[in-house]
Amino acid sequence: MESLRDIRQNIKAIKSTQQIMQTMKMISNARIRKAQDAMTAARPFAKKMLEMVDDLKQDILSMPQPEEGENLAGRVFVNRTGDPSKIGLLLITGDKGLAGSFNAVILRAALQFLRDHKDKQITLFAVGKKGRDFFARLTMPNLHIAYESVGIFPKVSYAHAELLGEAVMKAFLKDKLGSVTLIYNDFKSLASQNLVEQKLLPFDFENIKNKREESDFVFEPGIKEIFDILVPRLFKANMYRILLESQAANLAATMNAMDAASKNAGELVNALGVKLNKVRQAGITNEILDIVNGANALNG
């Protein structure tokens, strides 16, 4: 049986850990408000950019294609010249643990993606230390980490999105990737996150609502020049929104995990308190019995 000293030390250690959990919960709770505001502010801009490029889609695709290869519009919309045996994977995880199943869910989905495409050359773009470290330990001949970004959460800026967008777009065009798939956790609410696995490139506009049949804009200096400038900005704006969504989801997961862990620690402290009282009472009872037995022996 444990001694009173051992039980007291366990209670002290658990209370100390509980204080750390409560502090992490408070920090996540304070940061998530700011992250939600930034995420909410980025959504309308990214959506409007998508709608604007979708308005130009038919006009730009109807233009004559170059004799060799495709122009930018052909690559990001149709991608006939991309190599189907070469694909990209953009993986966004957290930089730290203690967030429940946040990272585990993403990594399981990524492993399943690798199994489903084991016959293809995969170019990985890893955002977040957990995902980078996990896949850096894998020995897969068909997997190549082309870009990594760690330590950016929970202070994501547009500069991070610019660097990420440039790396993904450059690899997509230069290496002639057939497609690029995105896997990350989307912010659904403070209580839950939604795992997202979607095609990032070529662009998919099926979910855009309120589409116009054709555009009636007059472009100066020309539709192609405007389009070539607009597409990279669209892609980076979308990257920024996605990073903000992942950041908010990670903070929410950390807050919930620390809240649950703190409550479990409290229950464990209560259970150990009951055990402590029982051991102390048993010790007192044994001492009383020893005194009584000693007195009986002297009287006998």
Could you report the per-residue pLDDT of 183-225, keeping only the tens digit for each? 999 988 888 889 999 998 888 655 544 445 555 666 677 777 7
The whole-model pTM stands at 0.81
Rounded Cα distance between 113 and 57, Å, is 30
Residue from 249, 239, 230 nearest 201 by CA: 239
Looking at residue 279, its pLDDT comes to: 85
Instruction: Supply 200's token pair.
Output: 């990032």
Which helix (DSSP H) or strand (DSSP E) does residue 24 occupy? helix 4-61
Q: In percent, how much of the chain has pLDDT > 90? A: 32
The full set of domains in the chain, from first to last, is 21-257 (3.40.1380.10)
Q: Name which of 164, 158, 68 is nearest 125 in CA terms.
A: 164
Question: What is the radius of gyration, based on Cα positions, of the chain?
Answer: 29
| C-alpha of 101 from chain center | 11
Encode 209-260 in three state secondary structure: CCCCCCCCCCCCCCHHHHHHHHHHHHHHHHHHHHHHHHHHHHHHHHHHHHHH
Mean pLDDT of 237-252: 91
Give residue 67's pLDDT: 46
User: Mean of the pLDDT values across residues 86-95?
Assistant: 95
